[in-house]
Structure 1
Amino acid sequence: MSIDSQRLYNVTPLESAITRLSDEKAVQYVNQLIRACHSPSTVQLSGEDVASAIGLEFSLPCDAVDVPSYGDVARSVLLLLASNFQQRIEIEALINTPKLLNFGKELVDFDPIKVLNILQSQFNAFNFLQSGAQASPRWETAQPGLLRAVGQNLLTCAGFRTVDPVSDAEYKIWYATTRSLVDRADPSKGYGVQHDGKVHYGSCTVFVPKSHKIGSVGSPWWKRILTCNDDRLQLLAVERVAEETFWASVALKLSRSPIEERDAVIFVHGFNVDFEEAALRTAQIGFDMQVKGAMAFFSWASRGEANMYLADAATIELDEMILADYLCDFARYSGARRVHVIAHSMGNRAVLRAVDRIAGNAQRRTGIQFGQFILAAPDVDVRKFQQHCAAYRAISDRTTLYVSSRDMAVEASRWLHDFPRAGLVPPVTVAEGIDTINVVNADLTLLGHGYVAEARSVINDMHSLIQHGAAPQSRFGIRLTSTEQGHPYWMIGA
């Protein structure tokens, strides 16, 4: 049965029309609004002032980013302005009256600083600069995730770029693992590849050099030699603690954070990952997404070898109940305002079963509600996913499924199992209440499997999800499309 996109995603007709605009028309509409809104009394901030204002609110610890297309930015500006009643009326009039577009034919007519000034005049977003107040700007009617993205990308178009971290950093993460200790007499040596009969808890300290690039845990050796720069993340320490101490430690960290930063994010890794790799990837994701609350991971006993796929597939089934308990305990005992989960590849198998258990047990899930579930490149049978994915809706605010047609690792799994995988397109896996996002031209890895952690556009999109819970139509660079059967889904990087 066809899924009604407006009912499923709460997309208004105007938002749908905006997302389908061509680059040229989107820019023309924005230019029309600039001319209509301009008046001699409008306070015009300089580019430097605008950069400073938005930098206070939207800066990211990263290097220069790819310049987005004017069309993408213009569509986001229109969506943002449409959150204001008066502007919505004007935009609807523009879209419904194409003959008004008798000027601004050139895409180069797009001036990011003019757009920022119009946003300033319409929403009074930057009046704190004029009054000398120090509070961060907030737009009452706008989606904060879209506001952040529009500001950041307008600055990029205007030639302002965010900068590298100014110094090295140490980033603390928490873990639970069912791996056995390498040396029971010395827990600091970490964990091996064998499955243990119990759960170990603790924390890791990861070194993040100032040369770190968003999406990377370190350059290959040949690049480090050529650049004379070691940008690798390094695992400095592994500390094992009792379970009670673990929860007290996480709760203490969150209690010392501002209330708006008391979120916890749990990463569940996939196939062919050892404990150290899981720790480094968790730290990289948390650091790049600016998780200031608690970043944690669950490390099941993957063998960490490419030729051990079947062994890993059997091992992960052992942790279904353990992972369900870990997720629930995080929600109960950590003191987090919201708990979010990012599952990658084969890790989605354990998460799907764990969530199904939580949702199906009323006593277990009493008072339990999660924030975002992010399902990245899931190596899960489509039939099994469709059977159990309703559980995500029962216990979370939003669930997002990232898929790709260029994921050769999941393609190999599809060939092995001789049936479609939820993380691979075609076909596009669409389920009611779950936002499916097809990642296009956004991966940096050879196999196309690591985009959840390595593609900048996906990291930025996950940041918007974690920080604001924004719907797809309110996030930068995402466009609505549909399957041949009319089922709606989204595209990023297209």
Structure 2
Amino acid sequence: MPGVQAIVARACALVLALSLAITSGCAGRPEGVLIPEASAATVHALGASTVDMLVATTRAPSEKPGVLFGGERGNEVRAAEIVVSIPPDKNRQIGQVQWPSKLPANPAREFATVSVAPMNDKAKVQGWIKRSMPAGRRMLVFVHGFNNRYEDAVYRFAQIVHDSGAQVAPVIFTWPSRGSIFDYNYDKDSTNYSRDALEELLTTAAKDPAVADITIMAHSMGSWLVTESLRQMAIRNGRVAPKITNVILASPDIDVDVFQKQWEALGPKKPKFTLFVSQDDRALQLSRRIAGNVERLGQIDPLQEPYRSGLEKAGITVLDLTALKGGDRLNHGKFAESPEVVKLLGNRLIAGQTITDSEVGIGERVGAVALGTAQTVGSAASVAVSTPILIFDPRTRDNYGEQLQRLNQSLSNTVGAATLQ
């Protein structure tokens, strides 16, 4: 059958292209980057900064020095406090992880591991939470996606926390991914293997009196793990823990039909959901083909039906990053690699604030709106023309013509002759 052969050929070509894109990104990295190499005093003297995070994992320990945990499944949840140094901003591109070219790393220009302290004692974990909690007592829990090694997840999360400037106690949950494009099904099963552990982590954090508010951010296949764990929590307890107020799903690798059922199971009192989507996400294109050609949540066009009506009814905010240039060949990591979006994460979303106000309307491509430091998108005080992002906010219902007129007036008043594209 020529049609079937053509489909198979295209799928194989896509798999090969994705494999080359992913493996080329890892080429040349030294193994063992999580071996502590420099003191905090040394890296600070070089102008570097540090991110102190709690790392919980369902991975099995690795026997390789500096790797800590591999891609196989462990029989218990293990935790560690890991401190990572970030080079001075003048020596790096915001949104990128500067991997060491060799070991020991150069903290002035590369990410480096400062310390690793196992924390398998519950009292130690509680102590870390208490001393790491900022004034707002907000915790950020990050769950990585498909094809991530332990060190990939740790360094990427350190980059997100640093570049976003988020005032949070940073916690990462890393599940057993083999870090291979060819182990998609193994990784998917590993997320299911880890559902109970993530639910327990979130439940424990929500019960801690030191924690006032929890934001969960997940990428790619990690979005499946998060929604499944929250679904379990809701079924088990009759609701999602009230302290979990904000859920951010970036490039979610979830079947749209399945997500609808997951959403319904969360009950009437749900956290606020925000999605980052991109129709040119090549990794999700492959996932869609593997999964029977059903649309993935991270690829939808929020302006098209039935998504527009469904999102409006659910009250889910969507940021469509399709028009942004991706920092990787797959266009799968825009949420972490775009400086504007990373700042938005820290200054608006992770802080639990709304993205839009009455000057940016429901699903309208209102030119190009900058998402800079401490900005409300479309606000008269700070909007500027720079970054084309579609914002779908079901809570805003002003007439589009009136919105456009007000936004143009705001731009005239604040940035002179700037006009909407």
Aligning the two structures, in what range does the TM-score lie when normalised by the shorter sequence?
A: 0.5 to 0.7
Equivalent residue for 2:330? 447
Q: Identify if the C-alpha distance between structure 1 residues 246 and 271 changes in structure 2 by more than 3 Å, giving closer, same or farther.
A: farther
CA distance in 1, matches of 2:198, 2:315: 23
| Native 8 Å contact 1:178 1:299 kept in 2 | yes
The amino acid of 2:163's aligned partner reads D
- 2:233 is equivalent to residue 332 of structure 1: no
1:307-318 equivalences in 2 (<5 Å): 307-318=182-193
- 2:168 is equivalent to residue 284 of structure 1: no
Instruction: Give the counterpart of 1:213 among 93, 97, 103.
Output: 93
Q: Identify if the C-alpha distance between structure 1 residues 246 and 393 changes in structure 2 by more than 3 Å, giving closer, same or farther.
A: farther
CA distance in 2, matches of 1:272, 1:386: 25
Q: What secondary structure, in the 3-state scheme, does the structure 2 residue paired with 1:306 have?
A: coil
Q: Identify if the C-alpha distance between structure 1 residues 188 and 415 changes in structure 2 by more than 3 Å, giving closer, same or farther.
A: closer
Equivalent residue for 1:462? 345
Instruction: Give the counterpart of 1:423 among 251, 276, 298.
Output: 298
- 2:382 is equivalent to residue 382 of structure 1: no
The amino acid of 2:318's aligned partner reads T
CA distance in 2, matches of 1:437, 1:338: 23
CA distance in 1, matches of 2:330, 2:132: 37
- 2:290 is equivalent to residue 406 of structure 1: no
How far 1:425 sits from its partner (Å)? 2.9
Equivalent residue for 1:117? none
How far 1:303 sits from its partner (Å)? 0.2
How far 1:406 sits from its partner (Å)? 1.3
1:196-211 equivalences in 2 (<5 Å): 196-210=74-88, 211=91
Equivalent residue for 2:18? none
- Deviations along 1:15-59, one digit per CA (max 9) or x if unpaired, are xxxxxxxxxxxxxxxxxxxxxxxxxxxxxxxxxxxxxxxxxxxxx
Q: What secondary structure, in the 3-state scheme, does the structure 2 residue paired with 1:440 have?
A: coil
What is the TM-score of this pair, normalised by structure 1?
0.57
Equivalent residue for 2:226? 351
Equivalent residue for 2:138? 263
Equivalent residue for 1:438? 320
The amino acid of 2:357's aligned partner reads Q
More off after superposition, 190-199 vs 246-255: 246-255
| Native 8 Å contact 2:164 2:344 kept in 1 | no
| Native 8 Å contact 1:275 1:299 kept in 2 | yes
| Native 8 Å contact 1:346 1:380 kept in 2 | yes
CA distance in 2, matches of 1:482, 1:297: 28
Q: What secondary structure, in the 3-state scheme, does the structure 1 residue paired with 2:298 have?
A: coil
Q: What secondary structure, in the 3-state scheme, does the structure 2 residue paired with 1:467 have?
A: coil
CA RMSD of aligned residues (A): 3.2
How far 1:407 sits from its partner (Å)? 0.5
- 2:196 is equivalent to residue 321 of structure 1: yes
Q: What secondary structure, in the 3-state scheme, does the structure 2 residue paired with 1:473 have?
A: coil
CA distance in 1, matches of 2:338, 2:253: 19
CA distance in 2, matches of 1:326, 1:343: 15
Q: Identify if the C-alpha distance between structure 1 residues 441 and 246 changes in structure 2 by more than 3 Å, giving closer, same or farther.
A: farther
More off after superposition, 206-215 vs 277-286: 206-215
Higher relative contact order (CA 8 A, sep 6+): 1
CA distance in 2, matches of 1:233, 1:195: 27
Q: Identify if the C-alpha distance between structure 1 residues 316 and 334 changes in structure 2 by more than 3 Å, giving closer, same or farther.
A: farther
CA distance in 2, matches of 1:342, 1:292: 14
Q: Identify if the C-alpha distance between structure 1 residues 293 and 406 changes in structure 2 by more than 3 Å, giving closer, same or farther.
A: same
How far 1:479 sits from its partner (Å)? 5.2
How far 1:468 sits from its partner (Å)? 4.4
Q: Identify if the C-alpha distance between structure 1 residues 173 and 482 changes in structure 2 by more than 3 Å, giving closer, same or farther.
A: closer
How far 1:334 sits from its partner (Å)? 6.5
Equivalent residue for 1:60? none
Q: What secondary structure, in the 3-state scheme, does the structure 2 residue paired with 1:360 have?
A: helix
How far 1:336 sits from its partner (Å)? 1.9
How far 1:452 sits from its partner (Å)? 1.6
Instruction: Work out which of the two has the higher radius of gyration on C-alpha atoms and give 1 or 2.
Output: 1
How far 1:395 sits from its partner (Å)? 5.4
Q: What secondary structure, in the 3-state scheme, does the structure 1 residue paired with 2:357 have?
A: helix
Equivalent residue for 1:6? none
Equivalent residue for 1:369? 243
1:145-294 equivalences in 2 (<5 Å): 167-183=47-63, 190-210=68-88, 211-218=91-98, 231-254=109-132, 257=134, 259-260=135-136, 262-294=137-169
How far 1:213 sits from its partner (Å)? 2.6
The amino acid of 2:83's aligned partner reads T
Q: What secondary structure, in the 3-state scheme, does the structure 1 residue paired with 2:113 have?
A: strand
1:14-93 equivalences in 2 (<5 Å): none
How far 1:377 sits from its partner (Å)? 0.3
How far 1:416 sits from its partner (Å)? 1.6
CA distance in 2, matches of 1:415, 1:422: 14
The amino acid of 2:141's aligned partner reads I
Size of the aligned set, in residue pairs, is 312
Q: Identify if the C-alpha distance between structure 1 residues 283 and 289 changes in structure 2 by more than 3 Å, giving closer, same or farther.
A: same
CA distance in 2, matches of 1:212, 1:415: 36
What is the TM-score of this pair, normalised by structure 2?
0.67
| Native 8 Å contact 2:138 2:169 kept in 1 | yes
Equivalent residue for 2:386? none
How far 1:285 sits from its partner (Å)? 0.7
- 2:357 is equivalent to residue 473 of structure 1: yes
- 2:182 is equivalent to residue 298 of structure 1: no
How far 1:320 sits from its partner (Å)? 1.1
Gaps of 5+ in 2: 1-44, 359-375, 379-388, 400-419
| Native 8 Å contact 1:206 1:237 kept in 2 | yes
CA distance in 2, matches of 1:479, 1:194: 39
Q: Identify if the C-alpha distance between structure 1 residues 335 and 406 changes in structure 2 by more than 3 Å, giving closer, same or farther.
A: same
Q: What secondary structure, in the 3-state scheme, does the structure 2 residue paired with 1:282 have?
A: helix
| Native 8 Å contact 1:343 1:351 kept in 2 | yes
- Deviations along 1:173-202, one digit per CA (max 9) or x if unpaired, are 11110111113xx99751111101110011
**Would you tell me which structure has more helix in proportion to its own residues?**
1
How far 1:328 sits from its partner (Å)? 1.4
Q: What secondary structure, in the 3-state scheme, does the structure 1 residue paired with 2:194 have?
A: helix
How far 1:466 sits from its partner (Å)? 1.5
| Native 8 Å contact 2:119 2:125 kept in 1 | no
The amino acid of 1:410's aligned partner reads L
